[in-house]
Amino acid sequence: MGLGPQLIQEQVMRNQKNFRRVVFAVIGAGAVATAFGVGPAQAAGNSTTINPSGAHAKAQNIGNVTIAVGSYTVTCTGLTSTGQVPVAPANHNASGPVAVAIGVPTFSGCSINAPFESVTVTANATNGAWSLSAQNGSPITGSLNIPKAGVTATISGLLNCSVVAAPTGPASVSGTFTNGTNSTTNPSYAQASSSVPLSITGGGCPTDTSGTIAGKIGVYDTDNTATAITVSK
């Protein structure tokens, strides 16, 4: 049996009410997934070293990245990015964070439990490179830098919207980092929670929002799985 016009309109109104926070969550999930050392921007302070020097790294989600927004949940099942630790002495800063260039993230399996809606998320480096910084401390903190308009989410269904993260300039994602012992059974990982500005276009779609996401992202040394990517003084 098909939906009547009144029922469809009521569903659209409910989706619009929660849409802004849900869409932020999807954008944030993609951003979080790219970094190993995600955290708040740091002023000069503690000495920081990322090891092993020059190691190639992969960041990948440990379990799903999930976002709870009222009765809605966004889940991304696949989140990955690659990068390389700077070669010594560039992997050390005597009085502040160490910056690491990373590749454009890819992610898959993102869904929303809203009726009649689907989500596709893509990232790019059109307006600048992706990067992160990490700083030793208790806890270890840092900052993931998203280039201008670096992530786009396309929502399809009763609503048809294009959502761009960091629309007017670079933005950061924040969290903490925990050192592991190896890149197989006990990898280092980032636990992140943060927000980014959004620009939303499309008929009947909201225009701005903020929200909360949560995710655990493992970091793996792809040159030597017996070694973990670690942050120290």
Buried b (16+ CB within 10 A) or exposed e, 91-101: bbbeebbbbbe
Give pLDDT, residue 84. 94
**pTM for this one?**
0.78
For 65, half-sphere exposure in the C-beta direction (CA atoms, 13 angstrom radius) is 33
Each residue's pLDDT, cut to its tens digit, for the chain (233 residues) gives 455 555 555 555 555 555 444 444 444 444 444 344 444 444 557 899 999 999 999 988 888 876 554 455 667 888 888 999 999 999 999 999 988 888 888 878 988 777 888 878 788 999 998 877 788 999 998 777 789 998 887 878 887 877 777 888 988 778 888 899 999 999 988 887 777 777 778 876 666 565 456 677 788 999 999 999 999 99
Q: Cα–chain-centroid distance for residue 146?
A: 9
Give pLDDT, residue 181. 98
Give pLDDT, residue 29. 43
Residue type, 113: N
For 122, half-sphere exposure in the C-beta direction (CA atoms, 13 angstrom radius) is 6
DSSP β-ladder status, 161-165 and 230-232? unpaired
In this structure, the chain runs to a length of: 233
200, 20 in Cβ contact below 8 A? yes
